[in-house]
Amino acid sequence: MRRWHAEHHRSERAGWLRAAVLGANDGIVSIAGLVVGVAASGAGQDSVLMSGIAGMVAGAMSMAAGEYVSVQSQADTEHADLAKEKRELVEDPESELFELTGIYVRRGLQPELARQVAEQLTAHDALGSHARDELGITDTLRARPVQAALASAAAFTIGSLLPLAAVLLSPPARIEAITIAATLAGLGVSGALAAWAGGAAVARGAGRVVFWGALAMAAASLIGRLFHVSL
């Protein structure tokens, strides 16, 4: 007899991983673009640093609020669907059983077996069975607004520390160049880690993040040079 063994799948971390990766990359790119643009305009090191810190605080709050509202909307939809399903199970259980049976038939079970499975699952947990097999709602993938918001804000803050550190540690005349180099390196690492954690190709994941980060900083630098005003 085979022993039961625990399995861990990458989809189990899809919710928080998405928010964390998005937050970290946005923190790196947004603050790097901001400080590069301000530095390119001719601003001094103190002004560049303060602009970056202000951007970090505002960005982290914005990411948290945006992620919370987005995921809460998903949670509201899930709750509404579950409430509707719960009501239908009370009002017309036979139709719901027929519906569940049809789902299992379409997945490949014989009608008799599908009916038997539907009856047993309904007896065990009717709402949970319909949530999972009809609505596609599972505990693993349920919307968790607070978790997503905190992960996004924390990741944004952590990501933004890289370009801020580059500004703080750079010679005033080299802020732009060093920030760009540090940011591209950081994006490569974050993109590779995100791809690895999600089971994707590491080189491809790193490459696409670096590409878009470089494009963002190039645009910010161009804008800064067009409005070159020493502060």
* Residue 14: predicted pLDDT: 52
* Residue 178: predicted pLDDT: 92
Distance CA 169, CA 154 (A): 23
CB atoms within 10 A of CB 121: 18
CB atoms within 10 A of CB 97: 19
- Residue 127 tokens read as 């709402």
What's the mean pLDDT when you consider all of the chain?
A: 82
Distance CA 91, CA 121 (A): 18
Alpha carbon separation from 218 to 47, 67, 140 (Å, rounded):
20, 27, 40
- Under 8 Å between Cβ of 123 and 102: no
Q: State whether residue 32 is helix, strand or coil.
A: helix
Alpha carbon separation from 142 to 63, 127, 211 (Å, rounded):
20, 15, 32
Each residue's pLDDT tens digit, 121-168: 888 888 878 788 777 777 666 678 888 888 888 989 999 999 999 999
Rounded to an integer, the average pLDDT of 208-215 is 89
Each residue's pLDDT tens digit, 62-114: 988 988 898 888 888 888 888 888 888 888 888 888 888 888 888 888 888 88
